[in-house]
Chains A and B, each alone.
Chain A
């Protein structure tokens, strides 16, 4: 039997079989590995939250450390908090919240209990040069001094914008303050060059050479993401 591989019916049939076959294969693979990759995402979430407090935490410890020490809350623009389940808080999309009017937002807040009082961990989300950037900032119990940050990105250039995930860049943020002396929110300015070490100014950190737009994105991300927390933070400062 000779098969006419170029007939219309055969072409249609072949296309259908290939498309349906590939679709079935990919969707069953995706579904069967979904639990695994979801667990990875949750663990990664916990890990990056904890990393903003302490860079020496390893991923293996992250799960237990988080469940034992961190409580999750939801904050509104009146400065009220509501304790919530971990998963409910993880599922809040910061991006969607940022699209709402600031007084309509309900945003996640993580509080880590420790010997030196509570540490407040706030999620952030913004735009880099190519794609989204996000991260967490941990504040000391004075609700002003930065304990640390952890950043991540979807598609910044390796060696340039992707440097925001490197320790040298993130360590710059430690001990900066987000409020000025009279209590107004100023955020943190990512400089185009380096902060003069002899006369380092508060609220300013070294930028990355060749990645000014990503640096500006980080600055913008902090300012915009913090808007919704300001009533709460001011209340805590007293």
Chain B
């Protein structure tokens, strides 16, 4: 696993809620410190759930929630937590939050929960959540930690949705289930020899190539990122 670039927030007596430093916590993970393309965390679920936009979207929302609140809880406990069992405590917090999401979805949004049953559980194993706990929440105050969780959740979600959109568009010709590219027999696209790409829809390998290309584009635009991970 790659090293994680970090922003350390120093102790300031009175800091506005959205100071520049705190804004950076939200903004950096979208690009310069993106959890997927720069920190190279959470690749497993980015490959697995991105065959369509909708699951990518709901997965992102759930990860933002879990990331933000696990960062917050661990940051609150960081000074009273025994060092030897800190990872176990982190896991308990993550698993508890994911279970809460699961129970709530079952009671209040049953159809969504049915659609995402496996993916919800997968959040526990998402390396971004634990990665941010270790790298940020353990050493920072609750509010910056909370923002860092939201920022990284969004940074993860943005990549997931880009990959999901590309895979759904070129794999099935739809976006969120609405037909966009019509490649039925007799259509214009079919007449120029276009067919939906089975690899895009079918295999996580397609997602790996897309993420690889995204990393490539990002680094040729910003050469200072080349040696980070």
Contact = CB atoms under 8 A, between A and B. Distances in A.
A159 B89 CA distance: 37
Contacts of B52: 158-159
B92 A158 contact: no
Interface stretch (B34-42, B60-68, B75-83, B131-139): B75-83
Nearest to B199: A210
B106 interface: yes
A40 B83 contact: no
A157 B198 CA distance: 14
A44 B117 contact: no
Contact of B118 (A19, A30, A155): A155
A18 interface: yes
B51 A37 contact: no
Interface in A7-61: 10-11, 14-15, 18-19, 22, 25-26, 29-30, 33, 36-37, 40-41, 44
B85 A15 contact: yes
A31 to B, nearest CB: 10
Nearest to A156: B118
A152 B168 CA distance: 21
Contacts, number: 81
Contacts of B89: 14-15, 18
Contact of B168 (A14, A30, A154, A159): A159
A15 B83 CA distance: 12
Contacts of A15: 82, 85, 88-89
Interface string B17-41: 0000000000000000000000000
Interface in B62-103: 79-85, 88-89, 92-93, 96, 99-100, 103
Given A44-B110, A210-B202, A154 B118 contact: yes
Contacts of B167: 159
Residue of B82, B104, B167, B198 most packed against chain A (CB within 10 A):
B82
Given A36-B107, A155-B117, A158-B55, A11 B92 contact: no
A18 B92 contact: yes
Residue of B107, B108, B168, B198 most packed against chain A (CB within 10 A):
B107
B83 A14 contact: no
Contacts of B49: 158
A11 B85 contact: yes
Contacts of B83: 5-6
Contacts of B93: 22
